[in-house]
Amino acid sequence: MISERLEKALNEQISKELHSEYYYLVMAVWFTSKNLDGFTNFFKVQVQEERFHALKMFDYLLDRGGKVYLETIKKSPQDFELAEDIFKKAYEHEQFVTMSINELMNLATEKKDHASQKFFDWYVQEQLEEETSMDNILTKIRLVYEKRHGLLLLDEKLSQRTFTVPAQ
């Protein structure tokens, strides 16, 4: 059985994940309006990831004998100006989610709830990947705005380097 405090905190986190889903859907809509299909695809996949994050918690909470309380999802801002603006907001949003996951982990540790600690480990790793992904794209978009496209081409070329074991 999960503690009441963790049950409440997990329900709040489910709402945050569903809000993230909605927020990224709003971003996908903006990119659709600009006919930028690749960016739209990126955010549509992100929408699916956020739904997955929420449902994984939903299942865990039920497995632990807790109850799920779904909250109203607040409206997301839609007044974006530039792609850079969107990725800056997405990056900041992921930082906010990371803090929230860290608090859940702190609570599980305080409650000596080892199953929850193990469960939140997955989210800690996931947040690291999500922050890195948003930050990387933001950096590349800034290079485009600064008209330093050559660096992007060079970066693409350098990413293809592989290690070959030297002949003895």
The H-assigned helical ranges of 34-147 are 37-63, 83-110, 114-145
Q: Are 85 and 26 in contact (CB under 8 A)?
A: no
For ligand FEO, the closer of residues 7 and 130 by Cβ is 130
Binding-site member from 2, 6, 11, 17 for ligand FEO (CB under 6 A): 17
For ligand FEO, the closer of residues 31 and 53 by Cβ is 53
Regarding 53 and contact with ligand FEO (CB under 6 A), the answer is yes
Regarding 19 and contact with ligand FEO (CB under 6 A), the answer is no
User: Given the structure tokens 């009441």, which residue do they identify?
Assistant: 4
For ligand FEO, the closer of residues 113 and 131 by Cβ is 131
Q: Are 97 and 57 in contact (CB under 8 A)?
A: no
> CA 161, CA 42: separation in Å to the nearest integer?
25
Say which residues have a Cβ less than 8 Å from residue 28's Cβ, sequence separation at least 6.
39, 40, 43, 44, 46, 47
Regarding 20 and contact with ligand FEO (CB under 6 A), the answer is yes
Closest approach of Cβ 65 to ligand FEO, in Å? Answer: 24
Over the window 86 to 125, marking each residue x when it contacts ligand FEO by CB under 6 A and - when it does not, the resulting string is --------x--x----------------------------
Can you read off the two tokens belonging to residue 34?
A: 């600009």
Size of the site for ligand FEO (CB under 6 A): 7
Closest of 60, 36, 53 to residue 94, by C-alpha: 53
Regarding 130 and contact with ligand FEO (CB under 6 A), the answer is yes
Interface ranges with ligand FEO (CB under 6 A):
17, 20, 50, 53, 94, 97, 130
